[in-house]
Amino acid sequence: MRRKIVAGNWKMNGSKDLAQTLVGFVRSQAASLDNGVEVVIIPPAIYVGDVVESAGDVLSVGVQNVGQWGSGAYTGEISAEMAVDQGCNYALAGHSERRQIFGESDEVVAEKVQRILADGLHAVVCVGETLQEREAGDAEAVVASQVQKGLAAVAPDQWQRVVVAYEPVWAIGTGKTATAQDAQAMHASIRNVLSEMGAPADEISLLYGGSVKADNAAALFAEPDIDGGLIGGASLVAEDFVSICRSVPASI
């Protein structure tokens, strides 16, 4: 059965205090979650150590980005190996903010995915179309291409550590969410693409992201191909994030 995952991407938000209080609260509540969801906290890298400490062995921790290199003269970057060293087991790759603001191409995303997987982390690979691409009727083709290129070099024994997050760019931080039906249709299409690539598509968790809130999570997570969510803004509010974690049905 596929893993059910709710991951909170703090982006460039948070503090040492939030790493203690919010994560401590989520950890205390996670103990009573009976839906089998894996909860992942993805803070800015500078707070990873604090979050790992607060998370204990109840929550998983990830980084938002890694360099595509092993180690060396890359001022300002952190490596996947360092994330492992600090106790992380997840890393994002290809978030639309990295693609748009930092100019990351599909090729760079693929290199980062390789690093993440080679060093033993789970890769959460983000894909999604812009509003313009959706309105032009190109959404499925754009997303399929991002999946094919970003995951081009995944080895057969690495698929079990691949997670794909579908995040329509127009839904991120805007308050606009894809309807559960539209999100489901794209997830089914992504699963199809993965299958065509020779991946064990039915075993790969597909997360939805983009303005997931406490009041719309349950409808999204009820869809058969939506295995959880990647949560931005709402992951910074402890009660909301826990409520989203509770919205995952017991069996997907």
Choosing from 95, 104, 122, 129, the catalytic residue is 95
> Least separation, in Å, of the C-beta of 119 and ligand PGA?
22
Using CB positions, name the residue nearest to ligand PGA. 232
What is the pairing mode between strands 206-209 and 162-166?
parallel
* Stretch 2-31: interaction string toward ligand PGA, x if CB under 6 A: -------x----------------------
135: which residues sit within 8 A by CB, 6+ positions away? Answer: none
CB of residue 75 to ligand PGA, shortest distance in Å: 26
Beta bridge pairs of residue 62? 90
β-pair partners for 127: 166
Contacts of 178 (CB under 8 A, 6+ apart): 168, 171, 186, 208, 210
Q: Shortest distance, CB of residue 111 to ligand PGA, whole angstroms?
A: 21
The number of residues that bind ligand PGA (CB under 6 A) is 13
CB 182 to ligand PGA: min, Å: 15
Shortest distance, CB of residue 39 to ligand PGA, whole angstroms? 15
Active-site residue, 187 included: no
Q: Are 170 and 176 in contact (CB under 8 A)?
A: yes
Query: Distance of alpha carbon 162 from its chain centroid, rounded?
Result: 10
* Binding to ligand PGA in span 78-117, by CB under 6 A: none
Tell me if residue 95 is catalytic: yes
Nearest residue (CB) to ligand PGA, 62 versus 159: 62
Phi, psi of 222 (to 5 degrees): -75, -15
Q: What does the alpha-carbon distance between residue 221 and residue 64 come to, in Å, rounded to a whole number?
A: 23
Sign of the CA dihedral 138, 144, 147, 150?
Answer: negative
Give the whole-angstrom CA distance, residue 195 versus residue 217.
27
**Interface residues for ligand PGA in 134-193 (CB under 6 A)?**
167, 172-173
Q: How far is the CB of 126 from ligand PGA (least distance, A)?
A: 7
- Site residues for ligand PGA, 42-61, by CB under 6 A, read none
- Among candidate residues 62, 64, 59, 63, the one with its CA nearest the CA of residue 23: 59
Nearer to ligand PGA, 1 or 14 (CB): 14
Q: Which is nearer to ligand PGA, 167 or 223 (CB)?
A: 167
Cβ-based nearer residue to ligand PGA, 196 or 215: 215
Catalytic residue, candidates 38, 97, 111, 167? 167
Are 125 and 163 within 8 A, CB to CB? yes
Judged by CB under 6 A, the chain residues 184 through 243 that form the site for ligand PGA are 209-212, 230-234
**Under rule CB under 6 A, residue 40 binds ligand PGA:** no
Q: Looking at residue 184, what DSSP letter applies?
A: H
The first and second tokens of residue 161, run together, are 């550590």
Residues carrying an active site annotation? 95, 167
Q: Which residues bind ligand PGA (CB under 6 A)?
A: 9, 167, 172-173, 209-212, 230-234
